[in-house]
Amino acid sequence: MRLLLIGAPGAGKGTQAERLAARFGIAHISSGDLLRQHVRDQTALGRTVKSYVDNGDLVPDGVVMDMLRKPVVAAAQGYVLDGFPRTVEQAEASYAAVRSLGVEVQAAIHLDVPREDLIRRLLARRRGTEDAEAVVEHRLQVYQEKTVPLLAYYAGREWMSTVDGSRSADAVHDDIVRRIQRLAAFVTIAPA
Ligand code: AP5
Ligand code: MG
């Protein structure tokens, strides 16, 4: 099974991706977690992306796509991709790349959460510089400008679902699983 989770900062992409990965035995691939790991390890890539991540700006497309290619291709049982694609450009460029490998996405879930809840969750978490109040504001603005157009681009596709992400993590998980099962009734979603 190959899934995408799309949602604003704090929408619960990481939380839900972890549960889905455990439930379906697929790889959890988080672009943000991988980038933060590079920053912590002070790799060449980490030094390139640090200021983008700290400031809440998107890292250049080529950097993210190069970083994700290997884990996506290696995910033999499938994957849940958390935080990618984030723009229409990333969606278009990656589709061409993964299609030729037969590992294109089969379902996308948009986690919809009101802005007040997002801010409350992120300020309570304080993961680092990126959860400072001004940076949270900026990340939400980047989401509006760059990722909301991606939702419009995917709108109306039968494999795309919007889920109310403001409920408990358990309720959101159960809803996502139901959506996937419903979708599986008319498209083939099986381990890759
Ligand atoms: P990324 O790591 O993807 O960050 P983000 O989108 O800002 O989202 P978060 O990880 O902060 O939130 P989340 O949706 O995963 O929610 P979580 O489960 O953690 O990206 C970081 C940076 O990397 C970007 O700013 C950019 O610089 C770069 N980057 C990443 N991908 C990129 C790309 N494709 N292109 C270019 N640049 C890229 O939950 C948040 C909090 O809420 C937690 O404390 C959690 O416990 C809590 N919570 C979760 N669910 C619930 C619930 N149902 N009820 C109550 N609390 C909940
Ligand atoms: Mg996350």
How far does the centroid of ligand 2 lie from the alpha carbon of residue 149, in Å? 20
Is pLDDT above 70 for 187?
Answer: no
Q: Which amino acid is at 96?
A: A
Per-residue b or e along 95-121, where b marks 16 or more CB atoms closer than 10 Å to that residue's CB:
eeebeeeebebbbbbbbebeeeebbeb
Give residue-wise pLDDT tens across range 102-142.
Answer: 888 899 999 999 999 999 999 999 888 999 999 999 999 99
Pocket of ligand 1 (CB under 6 A): 7, 9-15, 31-32, 35, 52-53, 56-59, 64, 83-84, 86, 90, 121, 125, 139, 168-169, 172
Give residue-wise pLDDT tens across range 23-66.
Answer: 999 999 999 999 999 999 999 999 999 999 999 999 999 999 99
C-alpha to C-alpha distance for 160 and 179, rounded to whole angstroms: 9
